[in-house]
Structure 1
Amino acid sequence: MISHNMTWIRYPSHSFDPSIGIEELIVSQNVISRFMHCYIAFFVPTGLIAGIFILTIFIKNYLRHSVLEKLDIFLFYFTISNIVMIFFSFTVITRPDYLMATQLGCGALSFFFNVSYFNSQYLLILMLLAFLLNRFPPRTVLMTKATQSPMLCVGFVLTCAFCISLVVVALLGTDNYHKETGCQLDPLFAWPEYEITKFSFGFGIPLFFQILCFILFFVKKAQPEAPTLRETIQAYLAVLTITITMFVCRLFYNIMILSRTTLKIHKTIGTSKNELMMNIAEIVLFSENCISLIFILCLHKPCQAGILKILMNLTKVCRKDTTNNHLEIPVTDIHGENGSH
């Protein structure tokens, strides 16, 4: 692997290039700022509330039945991964400026972010595989044991995400690790191989497996003992919606990542428009985590039942409060009348 000197690279907004117009830069920064405020004001609270509700419902179901369905276990860890991603997204609060940190600190932040990024992507593949193997039960002993141990599968996925994140963070380079820099979760100073590897393992390869799962699910004839599609349609619809949302948002983000790689290869910092599009893509990526949690809450049957139960309990409490208030009013009137006599 060839070491790259990335000391020349800068954000267009932090450069002194006369070709970058001040008016264009101001417009770009205003747009970034508005996107950031919209995301922080609407998406973050909604996503976190949805995530808390999902975790609460799953924990209550586990305490009640001492067991969770396989898909529920996968969705539970998927929710945790997405909530962690939302917390990492607080790094965009400083936009249109960037969080200042040493390159070592930025690399550490990038590592943990990438663990969550890869983990959520691979958990989605795991959910699609669970549907596929449920419809077409495996015939080998090893695959049967694996499908019967969802916690083992989750552990394997987390280990893969951890190892790939180590490989990716190694491509940030070790030069100037003490130097302070503007920090993104995918650092600007990373070598071009960083973006290429992240695209391959975080989007390209997972997309191939997802498409393969969909093709096999619809083309292959189900075995007689497998549950019918009608029995699992609601759970499948939830996973399908999450898959489409993740694909659209991460496609845009990965296109921008590869576009940034092209600029690095050509040794140019790009324009304020390039910086604007990269920032928008990053916020869209974080918005996907919030939207996915809302879809799980609205479309997954146990979550729907849990939300209805919570709402019913709240209405019961409200009714009790109102009836108590109505009962207290005549009591005070009676005391008032007695006092007058």
Structure 2
Amino acid sequence: MTSHNMTWISYPSKSQPFASPEEIEALIASQNIISRFMHCYIAFFVPTGLIAGICILIVFIKNYLQSKRESLDLLLLHFTISNMIMIFFSFTVIARPDYLTLTHLACSVLSFFFNFSYFSSQYVLILALLTLLLERFPPQTALCRAIQRPMFCVGLVLIFTFCLSLTEAVLVGTDNYQLEANCQLDPLFAWPEYEIVKFTFGFGIPSLLQILCFIVLWAKEAPAGAPTLWQHMRAYPAVYAISVMGFICCLFYNIMLLFRTTLKLQRSIGTTENELVMNIAEIVLFCESCASLVVIFCFHKPCKDEILKVIQRCRRGTSRVGE
């Protein structure tokens, strides 16, 4: 693998000499949009996502202690933890339209942990879809039966995502660790291979596996006595909803990553409009993490049952006070 000199790259808003009033006005407008997106995300999505995540953890841990150890719940517990970690890392956008100023080494470490949670959530979601698929179509091979062991599968996912994240940390760049730079969770100064690997293993392969799961679900005839497809999907709406929502948001984000790679290969820093769209795509990705937790909390059966119990207790308490 050839080392790349990425010291030439910088953000358009930080490097271009803005001579004309139109360019200055475009920069100000771009930064205002980024700032509004950031404030909206921090004010609405972050509190909602974290509250939903904490409630999910309480419900799943309570059920686990009561020996209600469903495979799907354990996978969604891991998915919840991964997304909550991503939300905590998303606090790096608070500085927008400016960026964090860190050394290359510190930015690489930050990127490693962010990628670990990102890859982990993607592949655990695949395991959740496979679990639902095998519930509708009973396993007939040793490999299929192995998928029904959630702790074993999660362990494999953690090892795989650790290796991917370590690879990405190397692709951020092995030179100039002591230099300071503007830092994003996907560093701008990373080698072009960084975005290519992230697109391939963080979006391409997971999306292909998700599509295959949906194709099998729709095309294969279920065994006699099995619920209809509509009944099956209504029984697990949260998993299918976050799968579709995640695909749409990650598609936008990864397209922008590939576009940024194209600019790097052309040795171009792009325009302020390119920078604006990339920042929006990053915030959309974080919004998806928050929204996924809300969907699980509101529509996954154990969580929904717990919400109904709390509502019933509140009604009983109100009726007793009224008497």
State the TM bucket, normalised to the shorter chain. Answer: over 0.9
> What one-letter code is carried by the residue in structure 1 that aligns with 2:58?
T
Q: Please provide the CA RMSD for this pair.
A: 1.8
1:27-49 residue CA offsets vs partner (Å, 9 max, x unmatched): 10010000000000000000011
Q: What is the CA-CA distance between 1:118 and the residue it aligns to?
A: 0.5
Q: Which has the larger displacement, 102-111 or 303-312?
A: 303-312
Q: TM-score, normalised by structure 2?
A: 0.94
**2:111 corresponds to 1:107:** no
What is the CA–CA distance in structure 1 between the aligned matches of 2:96 and 2:314, rounded to whole Å?
39
Identity of aligned residues (%): 63
Q: Is the 8 A contact 2:134 2:144 kept in 1?
A: no
Aligned residue in 1 for 2:262: 262
Aligned residue in 2 for 1:72: 73
What is the CA–CA distance in structure 1 between the aligned matches of 2:290 and 2:313, rounded to whole Å?
26
Q: Is the 8 A contact 1:29 1:276 kept in 2?
A: yes
Aligned residue in 2 for 1:289: 289
Say which one has the larger Rg.
1
Q: What is the CA-CA distance between 1:148 and the residue it aligns to?
A: 3.5
Q: Is the 8 A contact 1:137 1:226 kept in 2?
A: no
How many residue pairs were aligned? 321
> What one-letter code is carried by the residue in structure 1 that aligns with 2:131?
A
What is the CA–CA distance in structure 2 between the aligned matches of 1:69 and 1:116, rounded to whole Å?
23
Aligned residue in 2 for 1:336: none
What is the CA–CA distance in structure 1 between the aligned matches of 2:182 and 2:290, rounded to whole Å?
26
What is the CA–CA distance in structure 1 between the aligned matches of 2:235 and 2:197, rounded to whole Å?
32
Q: Is the 8 A contact 1:235 1:299 kept in 2?
A: no
Q: What is the CA-CA distance between 1:3 and the residue it aligns to?
A: 0.9
What is the CA–CA distance in structure 2 between the aligned matches of 1:40 and 1:307, rounded to whole Å?
25
Q: How does 1:1-341 map to 2 (within 5 A)?
A: 1-18=1-18, 21-64=23-66, 66-144=67-145, 146-224=146-224, 229=229, 232-317=232-317, 322=321
What is the CA–CA distance in structure 1 between the aligned matches of 2:224 and 2:267, rounded to whole Å?
59
Segments of structure 1 that go 5 or more residues without pairing to the other structure are: 327-341
What is the CA–CA distance in structure 2 between the aligned matches of 1:273 and 1:68, rounded to whole Å?
49
What is the CA–CA distance in structure 1 between the aligned matches of 2:28 and 2:288, rounded to whole Å?
27
Q: TM-score, normalised by structure 1?
A: 0.89
> What one-letter code is carried by the residue in structure 2 that aligns with 1:220?
K
Segments of structure 2 that go 5 or more residues without pairing to the other structure are: none
What is the CA–CA distance in structure 2 between the aligned matches of 1:286 and 1:122, rounded to whole Å?
17
Q: Is the 8 A contact 1:249 1:284 kept in 2?
A: yes
Q: Is the 8 A contact 2:57 2:77 kept in 1?
A: yes
Aligned residue in 2 for 1:332: none
What is the CA–CA distance in structure 2 between the aligned matches of 1:206 and 1:56, rounded to whole Å?
28
Q: What is the CA-CA distance between 1:226 and the residue it aligns to?
A: 5.2
Q: Is the 8 A contact 1:115 1:161 kept in 2?
A: yes
State the SS of the aligned residue for 1:181. strand
What is the CA–CA distance in structure 2 between the aligned matches of 1:305 and 1:67, rounded to whole Å?
14
> What one-letter code is carried by the residue in structure 1 that aligns with 2:203?
F
